[in-house]
Amino acid sequence: MENFDLYLPTHIIFGKDRVEELPELTKSYGKKVLLTYGGGSIKRIGLYDKIKELFKDCQIFEVSGIEPNPRITSVRQGVEIAKREKIDFILAVGGGSVLDASKNMACGAFYDGDPWDLVLDPSKVGKSLPIFAVLTLSATGSEYDNSGVITNTDTHEKMPIFGNMWPVASVLDPTYTFSVPQNQTAAGAADIMSHTYESYLVRKGNTLTDGFCESMLRTVIESAPRALKDPNDYEARAALMMASSFGCCGLLNIGREPSPWVVHGLEHELSAFYDITHGVGLAILTPAWMEYSLNEETAPRLANYGINVFGLERSADVMGTARKAIELTAKFFKDIGLPAKLSEIGIDDKHFADMADHVLKIWFGDFSKALRPLGREDIINIYRACL
């Protein structure tokens, strides 16, 4: 059993209409609010007006139009306002990208230089503005962790930021996800699953967290198709939202070796170069990575995955069971409407070598600690298998 720290100070407030409790929770933090959001879906579902009404006693400044792969340019906008207006707290209303950008704004507000420095060098991250979150997409888990992912389109870099940036409270109202389009619902499901695989499919697990991971995967596999069939299925939307929060918070990894998060490493390169949807990249990469990682040593873990998540029969043919599990994974992503190949989304092999070099240079995780250890050629091979 490895040593670990578990620290989850965010207050999760889960259920319909619970956003109404936010003003009471924020009132001791001040009255100057930086409201951050994305492309306007929060206006379509009436949440924007609701927030304005709830916080009518506050002075609200806004950063809108935060991109799906949130850019450092949006972060700079927020930091500028936060410094100029002496913002008291950030109210992030949206999915993971809005939360991630808000986290970089939160620490950027107390940093003298460019907020991109804080992405490049975590040691420069200090104090952060308090963040309150209202989640509108079940995917990244940013509502319950202390990290974010920021993209710099100038340098083709999509990189994580870490720091004391847990939201003080996150409101999770599944009804806000009723209007999430099919493709985003599916990509969000793939993201939750990928977070789980990053912890689960490593060389050594433990009974407690292997089981936690398997519950996460069963929940998504059961609920995503229901949410796609009936977007207003509260139970399915709620199950996805509940699961999303545990993907990145550390719970799935307690007592285990630190995971290198290799599939996320590979995907960040793809979306940094091509600005694709994160969950789509993950869904394409995941089965190829599993297949590439399958060998005599890793087969038992992949077979157990098939048995405990897809209900496969335990048999003497461990390799066969592992293969079947990988097939079912690919089939699941296809069934929920996600592309299976990079060629389907217009990506060819032009940048594979650059991406492999880059991820090995900048990624926080150690690729030699992956389920099957991966070097430069292995990474390129996995990208190629996705063509």
Binding site for a copy of itself (CB under 8 A): 1-9, 11-16, 18, 174, 206-212, 214-216, 218-219, 222-223, 234-235, 238-239, 242-243, 251, 254-255
* Apex 193 CA angle, 15 and 232, nearest 5: 40
- Minimum CB distance to a copy of itself, residue 17 (Å): 9
Cα separation, 184 vs 94, in Å, equals: 13
Q: What is the largest CA-CA distance in the chain?
A: 66
| Nearest to a copy of itself of 12, 360 (CB atom) | 12
- Minimum CB distance to a copy of itself, residue 239 (Å): 7
- Minimum CB distance to a copy of itself, residue 274 (Å): 33
- Minimum CB distance to a copy of itself, residue 366 (Å): 20
Cα separation, 101 vs 64, in Å, equals: 11
| Nearest to a copy of itself of 218, 351 (CB atom) | 218
H-only helix segments in 148-206: 182-200
Q: Are 13 and 143 in contact (CB under 8 A)?
A: no
| Nearest to a copy of itself of 39, 225 (CB atom) | 225
Element (H, E) at 89: strand 89-94
| Nearest to a copy of itself of 79, 217 (CB atom) | 217
| Angle separating helix axes 278-293 and 376-385, nearest 10 degrees | 110
| Nearest to a copy of itself of 143, 157 (CB atom) | 143
**What is residue 61's three-state secondary structure?**
strand
- Minimum CB distance to a copy of itself, residue 4 (Å): 5
| Nearest to a copy of itself of 243, 330 (CB atom) | 243
Q: Are 371 and 259 in contact (CB under 8 A)?
A: no
Three-state secondary structure readout of 328-343? HHHHHHHHCCCCCCHH
- Minimum CB distance to a copy of itself, residue 73 (Å): 34
Cα separation, 320 vs 303, in Å, equals: 8
- Minimum CB distance to a copy of itself, residue 194 (Å): 17
| Nearest to a copy of itself of 34, 252 (CB atom) | 252
Cα separation, 356 vs 376, in Å, equals: 6
